[in-house]
Every structure is written in C-alpha cells, then in structure tokens.
Amino acid sequence: MEIHGYQMPENLYYEKNHYWVRIEGDILVMGMDDFAQKMAGDIVFVKIPFVGKKLQTGKKFAQVESGKWLGKVYAPVNGELIEGNEALEADPEFINQDCYGTGWMYKIKPVDMGEVENLIHGTDAIDKWLLADIEKYKEH
Amino acid sequence: MKLYNLGKVPWQESQLIYHALALCGEEALCLLSPASPYVCIGFHQDVTQEVDLEYCRQNHIPVFRREVGGGAVFLDGRQLFFQLILHRNSPHAPKRIDAFYRKFLQPIINVHHKIGVPASFKPVNDLMVGQRKISGTGVGEIGDSIAFVGNLILDFDYETMSRVLKIPDEKFRDKVKKTIEENLTTISRELGQESLNRWDEKTLNDLMSKEFEKILGPFTFGRMDAVLIDKIQELKTTMLDDGWIYKKAGQLTGRVVKVRAGLEMVQRMHKASGGLIKTNFEIREGKLANINISGDFFCFPHTLVQDMEKHLEGAALGDIREILMAVYDDPMNQIPGVTIEDWMMTIKK
C-alpha cells in the first residue's frame, strides 16, 4: 500500500527503525523500508557482518552509510545472521532502486519465529506508525 | 551541556575524544585541533585503496579510521574541529538528515559571517562560499549517540592532501589537486593570510561556542575526568590498532574523490574479455564531464573512442546506457569483447 508517497507493502513486518521483515519458510529476510531509503538518500555502503553473528532484538548489528550519515541497523528479532546480500557491497544503490527486492539486506534464522508478531504489522498498525513518523520527521 | 574547549591536543585525541564521549553517552561540544597532521579515512573505506601509505610512512603522517562516513581527508592544526555529541533521541536533534545539518551548521555559518566570510548552506551538508566548499562535515551514530563533526578551515595544504591519496598515476593526481584547489576555499584564502592574526584559534573557538549556545542553551565547563580519560585509553587499544585501521570493506575498482556536493572525480578500471578499459571522468551535478577513455581493447574505426567521449560528455547518468546502445547499434562500430555492460561497469560512481 502507498502512504503519503511511501510504498509500504502490507504483507511485511516492520521494525520501528524502518527495516522490513518478510517470512520465507523458517527464515526471515530483512531490508530498509521505502520511508528510510528516501530519508537517507543515496546509500553508499552497507556492512555485511559475518555469517553466524548472533543477533539480539533491538541491538545494532551492522552499519549503513548514506554519504551524509553513518547509521545503524538494529536486529528485529533474536536470532542468527545466515546470509548478507553481497551484491550490496558493489551496488549499495540497489536499496534505493528496489528496497523490497534486489535491495534486501540480510537473512536471519530467528530463535523464535513468534517474535515477528512483536513487530509492526497489519494495515492499520503500519498506517498509524508511518503517519506518526512522517509527522515526527516534519519537526524543525 | 558541557563544553570542552581544548585548543591543540595530540592528534589521536582530536578523534578519540568524540568517540569516547559518544560511547559514554555524554552530550557535549568539543572545540579543538590536532597538534600534528594526520590522515583520517571514512568508516567504510579500505585504507590500502584510498591512502598512499608509503608516502604517509615516509613523512610520518599517521592514519586514523573514524566511525563517521565520508572520504579520506588530510587534517592538521590549521583546521579547527567542532564536534557535537547528542543523545540519539535528543530533542535538539531533528530527525531529518537535511534538517539536522541545516540546524547545526547555522552556528558555523554565523561565525563565518561574523569574520566577514559570506558562507551559505548548501543541502545536504555543505557550507559554501560561491561555488567553493569551506567546511567539511559528517555524522555518525556511535553507541547511543549522534556525533556531528566538522571543521573551520583556516588554511589548507592542498599539496599534501593530493599527495596522501592513493592515486595510480601522476596526471590524475595533478588533476585532483587542481580540482580540490578550484572547489575548496579557506578563511585565509577569502580574507587574506594576515586575517589569521586577528582570527586566531581561541577567538574563533569562543565565537563558535557562543553561536552553539544560542541553539543548545548555556554550556558548563567540561574537564577531562577519569571516566573520559579511561575511555580514551580503552579506545586507543582498538581504534589505533592495525586491525581496525586496515579492515577491509567492499572491493573497489578505481577511485572516487568527492570534491564537494555535486562534484566527484572518478577513475575506473575494468577487465573486459576484449581488454582493459580505463576511464577518468567527473560527475558534475549528476552529469558526466571531462570524460577520458583509454585501455588496451581494440576498436574500429580508430576514432570511435573519441566519438564516444564526445557523445558521453554532458550526459546525465541515467542516459548513459541509451548513448552506448546507439553506439553499438551502428554496424560500423566494432569493439570486440567489450559489451555495453562492461562500459556500464566503468562509467559509474
């Protein structure tokens, strides 16, 4: 669905720092959402941590750089990193071009798949959360 | 909020202090400059690709990797650093990147105006005098803090800056130096060398602290306490370690030197099955400029490379593929073993 010009697929789960999560069998795929990539501008670097890295919900586990800002990536669930999108090492702009497709960032094996239910999901919740953030980002 | 008005400090501390404050979660403004020169690379850069390490070693110029993005820069005591550390969720910090820079570059603009330099903000994060940049800035999220760092450039050593960068050929190095000279100005260049007697480090730091107080409220005097000193010592063991400085990032096939917002100099190399392709070009406001193509591939007619340069000159980045397709569509043009994809690899940022 589109909310104020931002594409936010309603079938995805969202971490509050604007990373999306998709369930694929018993693993999770995550990436940056459309709102975040538009706010960040041109992405110039994505850190791909080593496979096997333990992730803790809400803790940073990687960095992403837009040229103007070196930001962090937060784990959406407890789990283990099982793959990073290596194509982003050479072409980080995939995130800007196709953030839900070729611009995916990491694959995670969650400790408990049920944790995704703690993420933002469902049309109403996504809508409410994004509208609030759009308002926040209008400040100053 | 605390103000650390430190003047000249050992070069290592000119970087470690803001990392330490950020990791300690202490909000502060640091005003300082390094007692000796060094090279500072961006968080994700590969030092072996970016810096002429042999030159630096011979000239006793150390190298540091910051936890802030951007490119390699040569820093010395003629650049006065401002480093603002805020909590990640500070009410002072606008969420939008452009609004953040606009807000916190305003004090620096005001200082330039006070001393007679007509600096203005150019989104996203540049401070310009006419077409020339006069301050470098960046932001990194460190710990649970945001570190906003930048410099007031009294004077700049263009020669050493172009020397410390790893650039494979001297022609390109000379071009880099000239382009930096054309696109980066300094306070002494704007006001004359004698102005530096009037606008010394202490006076300018006082002006900066007053301007930052206008948006952040009154400062209290910060001292390097035991906690901060311990954190700096701890960081010395990690951030001055070769493992940190030499850590590898993604593979680069060439060089991109960002001169200012809207101007990058690019050098690329790519091995196509038909031979090596080398390109040198600039990206000026999103368009190709001064493109030069060379290599050891064969082409027919022999003027084809020159024709391609002509067609590509001034082209928007999004139009490159179409221009190349038109070249390949002409049956007279032959470049065996070099495809449009090969060209796309060499004519990109």
Asked if residue B224 and residue B112 are part of one domain, the reply reads yes
Best mean pLDDT range from B76-90, B239-253, B294-308: B76-90
Closest of A138, A133, A120, A136 to residue A9, by C-alpha: A120
Q: Say whether both B42 and B78 belong to one domain.
A: yes
B305 and B187 together in one domain: no
Contact B251 A89 (CB under 8 A): yes
Minimum distance, in Å, between the CA of residue B96 and any CA atom of chain A: 6
Of B99-113, B180-194, B326-340, which range is least confident?
B326-340
Is residue B254 domain-resident?
no
A68 interface with B at CB cutoff 8 Å: yes
How far is residue A133's CA from residue A4's CA, in Å, rounded to a whole number?
12
Residue A10 lies in a domain: no
Let me know if residue A6 belongs to a domain. no
The verdict on a CB contact (< 8 Å) between A89 and B250 is yes
A75 falls within a domain: yes
CB-CB neighbors (< 8 A) of A136 in chain B: 95
- Position A14 in a domain: no
Residues B273 and B220 in one domain: no
Give the number of other Cβ atoms within 10 Å of residue A117's Cβ: 9
Between residues B76 and A2, the one the model is more confident about: B76
Across the range B281-308, mean pLDDT stands at: 89
Name chain A contacts of B44, Cβ cutoff 8 Å. 44-45, 47, 63, 65
CATH number at residue B199: 3.30.930.10
Domain boundary among B210, B245, B280: B245
pLDDT for the residue numbered B169? 81
Q: Tell me, yes or no, whether B186 lies in a domain.
A: yes
Across-strand partners of B31?
B5, B82
Q: Which residue of chain A comes nearest to B70, CA vs CA? A: A67
Question: Range of B330's domain?
Answer: 262-346
The answer, for A85 touching chain B at a CB cutoff of 8 Å, is no
Strand order, beta sheet including A19-24 = A13-15, A19-24, A27-32, A106-110, A79-84, A54-55
A137 at B interface, C-beta within 8 A: yes
The pLDDT value recorded for residue A89 is: 83
Query: What value does the mean pLDDT of chain A take?
Result: 93
pLDDT at res. B252 = 40
Q: Which residue of B has its CA nearest to A92?
A: B250
Residue B155, pLDDT above cutoff 80: yes
Find the radius of gyration of the CA atoms of chain A. 14
Q: What domain count does chain B have?
A: 2
- Its pTM stands at 0.79
- Residue B257 domain-assigned (yes or no): no
Q: Do B34 and B167 lie in a common domain? A: yes
Is A51's pLDDT higher than 80?
yes
Are residues B148 and B208 both part of a single domain?
A: yes
B311, B327 contact by CB (below 8 A)? yes
| Residue B318 or A140, more confident | B318
**Together in a domain, B151 and B283:** no
> Does B123 map to a domain?
yes
Strands B220-221 and B2-9: parallel
Q: How far apart are CA B67 and CA A9, in angstroms?
A: 33
DSSP designation for A133? H
Whether residues B34 and B98 share a domain: the answer is yes
Among B180, B210, B245, which residue terminates a domain? B245
User: Is A27 within the bounds of a domain?
Assistant: yes
User: Which position has the higher pLDDT, A64 or B168?
Assistant: A64
How far is the alpha carbon of A48 from chain B, nearest alpha carbon, in Å?
Answer: 9
Rounded mean pLDDT of A82-101? 92
> Are residues B273 and B128 both part of a single domain?
no
A38 touches chain B (CB under 8 A): no
Please give the C-alpha separations between residue B313 and each of B106, B267, B291, B308, B344, in angstroms, as whole numbers: 37, 15, 6, 8, 15
Query: Is residue A83 situated within a structural domain?
Result: yes
Residues of B in contact with A71 (CB under 8 A): 141
Q: What is the pLDDT of residue A126?
A: 97
With respect to residue A4, please indicate whether it lies within any of the assigned structural domains: no
Domain extent for A85: 19-131
Do B116 and B181 lie in one domain? The reply is yes
* Residue A90 to chain B, least CA–CA distance (Å): 7
Q: How far is CA B68 from CA A72, A83, B140, B339, in A?
A: 11, 25, 4, 37
Q: Are residue B209 and residue B123 in the same domain, yes or no?
A: yes
pLDDT band at B250 (very low <50, low <70, confident <90, very high): very low
Cα–Cα distance measured from residue B156 to residue B189, given in angstroms and rounded to the nearest whole number: 9
**Residues in chain A closer than 8 A to B97 (CB atoms):** 39-41, 66, 68-69
Give the domain-ending residue among B177, B211, B245.
Answer: B245
Mean pLDDT of B231-248: 90
Contacts with B125 from chain A: Cβ below 8 Å: 68
CB contact under 8 A, A70 and B140: yes
Clarify whether residues B163 and B59 are in a common domain: yes
CB B290 within 8 A of CB B312: no
CATH number at residue A79: 2.40.50.100
Question: In chain A, what residues touch B259 (CB-CB under 8 Å)?
Answer: none
Pairs across A and B, CB distance < 8 A: 61
Contacts of A39 in chain B (CB under 8 A): 96-97
Q: Taking CB atoms and an 8 Å limit, are A39 and B97 in contact across chains?
A: yes
Across B156-182, b (16+ Cβ under 10 Å) vs e yields bebebbbbbbbbeeeebbebbbebbbe
Average of per-residue pLDDT values in chain B: 91
- Structure confidence at residue B296 as a pLDDT band (50, 70, 90): confident
Looking at this predicted complex, what is its ipTM? 0.82
A138 located within any domain: no
- What total of structural domains would you count in chain A? 1
CATH number where B303 lies = 3.30.390.50
- Residue B221 covered by a domain: yes
Q: Is B145 inside a domain boundary? A: yes
Name which of A39, A68, A136 is nearest B139 (Cβ-Cβ).
Answer: A68
